[in-house]
Each structure stands twice: as C-alpha cells, then as structure tokens.
Amino acid sequence: MTGPEQAAPRVERVVVAEDRDGQRLDNFLASRLKGVPKSLIYRICRSGEVRINGSRAKPDQRVAAGDEIRIPPVRVAERGESGPPPATQLERIEAAIIHEDRDFLVIDKPAGVASHGGSGVSFGVIELLRAARPHDTLELVHRLDRDTSGVLVLARKRSALVALQAAIRAGQTEKHYLALLAGTLERSPWRVDAPLRKSVLQGGERMVRVDEEGKPSRSRFIELERLGAASLVEVALDTGRTHQIRVHAQHIGHPLAGDEKYGARGFNKAIRERGLRRLFLHAARFAFELGSRSFHFHAPLAPELAQVVTALQRQPLARVAEDD
C-alpha cells in the first residue's frame, strides 16, 4: 500500500542543462535514475515511454541543452530488479583502478566484465563503479569488448567527458593494444586501411565486415615477437570502430587467438592447448593531451595472457593446418 511516506512514482519532465548538451540519452537517464540497470533504460526507451520534446527517442540519441525529457515512473522494485551488485564484484572492480584524479578514473578492466550492462549482463563496469561510489558522477568515455582486458577510461566531470570524446573523434589520442595473431606478419609495421561496416544477423548477433561502403578504419600491426606459428603484436589504432582489430586481423589473414567469431578454429584449438581460455586482446596504453595536461595510462599484459606467452616462448607453436 502506498502511504504518504512513500508516494507513488510520477512522470518526470526534466530540462537538459547546458553541461549535459550532447550527452547520449541512455547516459543522461542513468545519471537521473541511480541504480537502474541499463537493460531497463533500454526497455523504457524502446517502449516509447521516454520522450524528447514529445517525440520517441532511441537510447543512443544525443540530447541538447533545453530539451525536455519525459522520464516515466520507475518503481523501486524495477530499479532493483537484478538486486545490488555482489560485494565480490564491487571489490574486484575497485581493485582494478589504476589512476584517479579530478577529471578521470581509469581501470585495468578484467576480461569477462562488460563495459556496461544490457543484453543479459546485469552489471558492467559503469554500474559497478556507480554502486561502489554513489556520490561520484561517472561516465564511460569509451568502451572495451567484454572479452578484452586493459585500460578503460571513465570521466568524473561532464567537461572532461566531452573534451576527451572530441579528441577521440579528431584522432588526437593514442590507443595501443597487445594481441596474439596466427602466423607471422609478412611486414611490420603493417598498415591496414579497410573500411568496416556493422550488421546484425537474424538472431541478433552483431557482426562486422570489411566493406567499401563502411566507415573508414585504420590499424597498424607491429610485430613484437615471433612464437613459432604465432606472433605477439602491438596494434595502434588510428580509428576506433567496433571489433576493428579483430576484423582487420582476419582481413590480412592473421586472425586473433581465441576469437570465436572471426578467428581460425585450428589455430584456436592449438592455442587452447597452451592454456588460452579467452580472446587474446589487451588494451595496453591510452595517451592524450587536453589543454596543457598530458595523460598516459598503462596496463601490463593480463597475467593469464602473459602465461600463454611464456608457454609459447618455452615451446613455440608448430605450423597449424588451415581450417577447411
């Protein structure tokens, strides 16, 4: 029963402030509806309950200063539909913090943890950190795939978020990854300039392919060490498309180890025998400048990946037969 001390939730109509101009709608809603899972935010957007100036809106739509956002009532039960994050998850994500200042919070994201919740994931990095630090205003600056480990940057101020995202779009950041590829590179560095296009299969699975009508995508593959029929490489990104490294590696005939979507079955099987249990992709470095300040964030190769490299150094991989 609803009493005077617990009034029924009502529709909110919120005017977007200047410092929220250009923010994605899903992030705007997450900052208003503390503790609400991203899956629920996507649901109320898809249902048409959320409106921008009276019109239906998609979660990735950008809001503008002065827009009126209609936010439907969200019951307390719905807010906690997944329950609070387990304490072990909160401890793990806090232990992964590698840098913190007035503008940014940076973690060395473990593999297996999504950047944000949704699509069957109750708690991603952003939900866990918001739960661990309820008084902070945190936003993801960029994303890493769930199976990718390494440097992930979050903004603690709207101004820092906007400035760094603008630098990313302008190609003014440096992002370097470590990856294990099948075979040995014919040249190093190997510059790949191949446009990428996203598509969604009938079952809802997201796929990316090289397509002349896709978005410009550029990667540089630099060989670090030959390990028999495998190569440890550094990958520098000039653009940041979905699955860019994985698809570009497949495109040049040297797919990533442990890649079940774009990889080679025979190579993956051989690497599994050396102890690999995940995608071998690690965001090792993220550097940029904002005004007079320079930022350099580093994350060492994840221990479970370093163990695979050690195993291959002791016994380099023999040539693997190509998949049928």
Which positions are annotated as active-site residues?
145
Which residues touch 252 (CB under 8 Å, ≥6 apart)?
A: 190, 192, 221
Q: What angle do CA 260, 221, 240 make, to 5 degrees?
A: 70
If residue 269 lies in a helix (H) or strand (E), which one and from where to where? Answer: helix 265-272
CA distance 106 to 68: 32
CA distance 87 to 93: 10
Written as one string, the DSSP assignment of 6-59 is SPPP--EEEEPPGGGTT-BHHHHHHHHSTT--HHHHHHHHHTT-SEETTEE--T
Angle between helices 125-132 and 87-95 (to 10 degrees): 100
Question: To 10 degrees, the CA torsion angle through 238, 305, 321, 253?
Answer: 0
236 is written with which tokens?
């520098």
The single-letter DSSP state of residue 318 is P
Amino acid at position 192, single letter: V
Listed residue (59, 45, 38, 206) closest to 125, CA to CA: 38
Listed residue (90, 108, 111, 112) closest to 99, CA to CA: 108
Listed residue (17, 18, 37) closest to 130, CA to CA: 37
CA distance 239 to 321: 33
